[in-house]
Chains A and B, each alone.
Chain A
Amino acid sequence: MKLRTKLLLVFILTATGVIAGYKVVNSIFFRPQNPAFNYAPEIKKIKLYFINRDGKLQAEKREIQGGVGILEDVKICVKELAAGPKEAGLFRGLPAGVVLNGVFIDDNRCIYLDFNQNIVENQAGGTTREMQMLYSLVNTVLDNFTQVTSVRILVEGHEIKTLGGHLDITQPLRSKQLEY
């Protein structure tokens, strides 16, 4: 082999190594430190959307001790939502007994909320109630976490067609208003 070919080969290998190394380091260290998704824990003001006497959404403000990233904060926030309203004249959007098992986010900044079976079992029925529940959840997540573009709901780790037999939730949800 000629010296020039050898040098070229070494150069290519080194370049490939550097690029690959950069990518690995980048994926391990850079992405988790993206300030939009990972940050120091702090006390946060959040808005929880419940249902008022007119059947529409109304926000209740709360302070939470935040976690070290968006996944933890979403979990805390949805847990507060599931616990129900504190203000008089507001009704819960999520049925009682609903537990959030896990939270994930994908490359399209769609948040996946994985609930236990109670989100289906404890449904009290009615299309409007199903809408109120979905809006309460989607609004709370999208309003408090502007980095998130849409919400998907899973039950015990699985996709399901509807929560109460009416609305199709096989697409990412991103609508924020409850219009009447």
Chain B
Amino acid sequence: MEKIKILIFVVLSGVFLLQETPARNPAANGLKELPVKNFCVVIDPGHGGKDGGAVGNKGTQEKNVVLDIASMLAKVLVDNAGRNYKVVLTRAEDKFIALEDRITFANQAEGDIFISIHANASESRNDNGFEVYYNSLATDDALTNVARRENAGAAERKDPQPTDSMFVLWELAQNEFQKESMNFADAIQAGVETAVSKPGENGKKYLMRNRGVKQAGFAVLRGVRMPAVLVETSYLSNENDENNLRSPEFKEKMVEGLFEAIEKIAGKINRRQDGLK
């Protein structure tokens, strides 16, 4: 076991060293400026193929709704004139993809942020609304911290486990992502609320309950090595919510809100990365 840990450490150190080398090259070659960095957004439309996810009373399937929203978001990001976005979709068609493959794919793409898009359902037809989740720590069980933690540093209050340096490194990295995930979740919550509350064409108002930002142990969020959130767009088990999710205009508003949030978080993360140079 100890040998394996040392081996992992050596391999990781090697990776860090390799990553540093190309970064030095542009300056050494006397290039005027660094190329504009693409900000990579990994969009993960939940479910797909044999896994339809939740189904509404009118037959609306989660896998289709979330693919719509994800594709619309991808288009808005790529088409925008400002920032240079690289968009990666974990699926672009109605296909089953295992959670592990989504995670591997996102990590291999070296995304800057990860956003998983879902539509919700409850045993109660009264349950409704929009909510954004970020991960609870992998050492907690899936059901802890469902109500959001009030302060960003909550994870740091846990007793450190100093016996294993690899574990501490991993914890530190996780805490860093967790804070950014929380900021991202906050930005989405605010962005979508603003976008949806604006009346649509013909003055149509969309009713959407904002259930806020929460934490839970989502398998897909625990695996990705980047700030990550999971958006529950609305409840297919609720009549009003299902109608919203069937409306192209509502989905456009949702996408507008998501885009605003990504713009905000991309600015923050890019500034931090610039600060590190």
Point out residues on A near B: beta carbons under 8 Å: 51-55, 91-93, 124-129, 131-132, 134-135, 138, 150, 161-162, 165-169, 171-175, 177-180
Contact of A165 with B53 in the complex, beta carbons under 8 Å? yes
Stretch at the interface among B184-192, B217-225, B253-261: B217-225
Q: List 6 A-B contacts (CB under 8 A).
A: A125-B62, A126-B235, A128-B127, A168-B142, A174-B141, A175-B146
- Closest partner residue, chain A, to B55 (CB atom): A125
Total A-B pairs in contact (CB under 8 Å)? 116
Knowing A162-B99, A180-B211, say if A127 contacts B126 (CB, 8 Å).
no
**Complex-state Cα separation, A179 to B147, whole angstroms:** 6
**Complex-state Cα separation, A131 to B100, whole angstroms:** 21
Knowing A52-B124, A124-B121, A168-B219, say if A173 contacts B232 (CB, 8 Å).
no
Closest 9 interchain pairs by CB?
A: A126-B121, A125-B54, A175-B143, A91-B123, A55-B124, A55-B127, A126-B54, A167-B142, A168-B219
- Closest partner residue, chain A, to B100 (CB atom): A161
Could you tell me the distance in whole angstroms from the C-beta of B176 to the nearest C-beta in chain A? 20
**Complex-state Cα separation, A168 to B147, whole angstroms:** 17
Contact of B46 with A165 in the complex, beta carbons under 8 Å? yes
**Complex-state Cα separation, A175 to B144, whole angstroms:** 6
Q: Is B47 an interface residue (CB 8 A)?
A: yes
Q: Is B51 an interface residue (CB 8 A)?
A: yes
Chain A residues with CB below 8 A from B219, complex form: 161-162, 165-168
Contact of A124 with B144 in the complex, beta carbons under 8 Å? no
Chain A residues with CB below 8 A from B47, complex form: 125, 165
